[in-house]
Amino acid sequence: MFDRFDLRYVLPNTVTAASLVMAMVAIVLASRGEHASAAWLIVWCALLDRLDGVVARWLDACSEFGVHFDTLADLLAFCVAPALLVYFVLQDDPRYAPVFTPYPARAVLLASVGIYCLFGALRLARFNIQTRSIGPKWSRGLPVTMAAGLVSTFILTAWERSLPQVVAASPIVLWVCAAFMISHLWLPKSLGKGSRVPFVLQALGATAIYGLGFSRAHPTILLAAALVYPGLGFVYGGLRPPTSSRASGAH
């Protein structure tokens, strides 16, 4: 099955593989109590998720294999890893363990972890099915990438702002993200082709986000971005939902 292997597919799939490996490392670090490092690795996975598609289109190396490989990596990086991060934080950290170790709080935590993972998987499956019919300009529901970034930066921001008690609300964040992931709300892809956002602003915004993310700085700004974009996007999608021609990108 690999007798016609094309080297141009190596780079985008390597980016996807790097995201998958970092997700596994994040889970291991979270299980060992290195929660902040695990959260930042999940942020890095979210940043890499955008790059593999860009690289694939740049090299004209889009493939069905890449789509399925990317989905499997996303399931681990943006569904399983953030959920387990919340679980390990609330079970291991002495500031939260006394509350979430006994029942019924433990049951609530386990349920939030399970529902988040399940709904994230459903969101990925639905995305793969609907991509061709919806087109490249729109998506429905909260992308798993944004959900994972929101969960991770929520925890990091609470610690940065010396508000550790806020982290106890992480199960609620998981529930809310899960609900939005399987929602049918329209969300425009602002960075897609034909976007109304000027290219210069897109470039500046992307540079700031990637710079802060990879330098592990100012998670509050990253959290704000993870909240503002889908928030405004859902409002826009609700006020101006795409018709079948607009959703498919037809003019």
Q: Give 202-211 pLDDT, tens digit per residue.
A: 778 888 999 9
The pLDDT tens digits for 16-56 are 999 999 999 999 999 999 999 999 999 999 999 878 777 77
Residue among 94, 79, 78, 86 nearest 44 (CA): 78
Peptide bond into 104 cis (omega under 30): yes
Name every residue whose Cβ is closer than 8 Å to that of residue 65 and which is 6 or more positions away in sequence.
9, 13
Sign of CA dihedral 178, 246, 128, 194: negative
Predicted TM-score of the model (pTM): 0.89
Region 108-118 average pLDDT:
98
The pLDDT tens digits for 82-101 are 999 999 999 999 999 999 99
**Could you give all domains of the chain from N- to C-terminal order, each with its CATH number?**
7-247 (1.20.120.1760)
Evaluate if residue 199 carries a pLDDT over 70.
Answer: no
pLDDT tier for residue 140 given thresholds of 50, 70 and 90: very high
Write the single-letter amino acid at 130.
Q
